[in-house]
Amino acid sequence: MQPVRPSPRPVALPVLAALPLAVVLMVAPAPASAQSFLEELFGIGRAARPPVPPAPVPGGRAPGAPGEAPPEAAPRPAPAPPAPPKPVVLKTPNDDAVLGQDLQQNGNAGSLRLDRAGAGFTARVTLAGTKISQPTEACKVALGDGQPLALADQGKPNGVTQLASSGSACPLRFEILEGGVLVTPLAEAESCVFTASDCATTPKGLWGPGAATLLPRAQEFDAARGVADKAVRENYKVMTQRARREDVRPIVTEQAAFSSDREQMCRAYVREGSHGFCHLRFSEARALSLATRLGLSGAAPTASNAPRPARKRPAPAVEGMNPGFEAGAQDQ
């Protein structure tokens, strides 16, 4: 009879459950590391803690904080201020261009002829007017009984040659423009009355050629007027910028009066609307006057008031023809 072997002693379950833990503890390098590993394993370490946002930047918000606006771009440099306007100088009129020419007031009344006499100038002037006794009838008066009047040269205070007659009956000022003469009475009244001749005259205005001479040059005058008007505007701007505050208003008033005087004077010139001669010469005189007051008297011109040559327009193509074929034929 074989001896009965005792059955193996059952191992307690808690001991079996602790074996993996014992193995883990044996592998851990240090007690502190084992504790950290266990905390992470059972979800009680840093993995269970909420993430800590980065430390705020001193003096501002933390980057990426909720509600923070995106950083603004660097400010763009301010645009450079526009260049200040520069005065414009036009070419001074040629005095010899009007010498020996028979000019008329507004191109159709009276007569004026300037000539040189040694170092000075003389003028033959016949004024047209209306009879004092019969205003509906025309009359004429020749100054100095038709003899040449000696003129005093007053230089160029307004940028153009200025002459003056010394006659007591009707003293006049003559300003030589390009192809014309601007006449202004020196007396307070704009009219000259000749009682003995029963004639009342108004010599003020632009004396120049007749319409028949000016009409073929209408396109030339129109191009030159654009240059003259721009010169007036630029010189006017410079005048107002350089003037003291209390002097700006008189300059503005003067500029407004210039536009009004030009319109009133030039509307009387014969067929002015068709050629524009009077408006051009009046604007050129204004531009030269402003340039002189700006201290640019005698300076070299900065803008040419000579008309630009007209561009030739190409001949229109004939419908139905091949331009490429014609060009090849011409090359052959």
- The 10 Å CB-count burial string (b at 16+, else e) for 2-18 is eeeeeeeeeeeeeeeee
Give, for all 332 residues of the chain, the pLDDT tens digit.
455 555 555 545 454 455 555 554 554 455 555 556 555 655 555 555 656 666 555 555 555 555 555 666 677 877 777 777 788 999 999 999 999 999 999 999 999 999 999 889 999 999 999 999 999 999 999 999 999 999 999 999 999 999 999 877 899 999 999 999 999 999 888 899 999 999 999 999 999 999 999 999 999 999 999 999 999 999 999 999 999 999 999 999 999 999 999 999 999 999 999 999 999 999 999 999 999 999 987 788 888 766 555 445 455 555 554 444 444 444 44
Provide the whole-model pTM.
Answer: 0.69
Structure tokens that stand for 184 in this block:
């202004």
Q: What's the CA gap between 232 and 214, in Å, rounded?
A: 23
- Model confidence over 40-64: pLDDT tens digits? 655 555 555 656 666 555 555 555 5
- Model confidence over 175-191: pLDDT tens digits? 999 999 999 999 888 89
H/E stretch holding 70 = none
- DSSP 3-state percent helix, strand, coil across the chain (nearest 5): 35, 20, 45
| Type of residue at 311 | R
Structure tokens that stand for 138 in this block:
């025309």
- The 10 Å CB-count burial string (b at 16+, else e) for 93-120 is bebeebeebebbbbbebbbbbbeeeeee
User: Of 201, 175, 176, which Cα lies nearest the Cα of 189?
Assistant: 201
- Model confidence over 206-237: pLDDT tens digits? 999 999 999 999 999 999 999 999 999 999 99
H/E stretch holding 295 = none
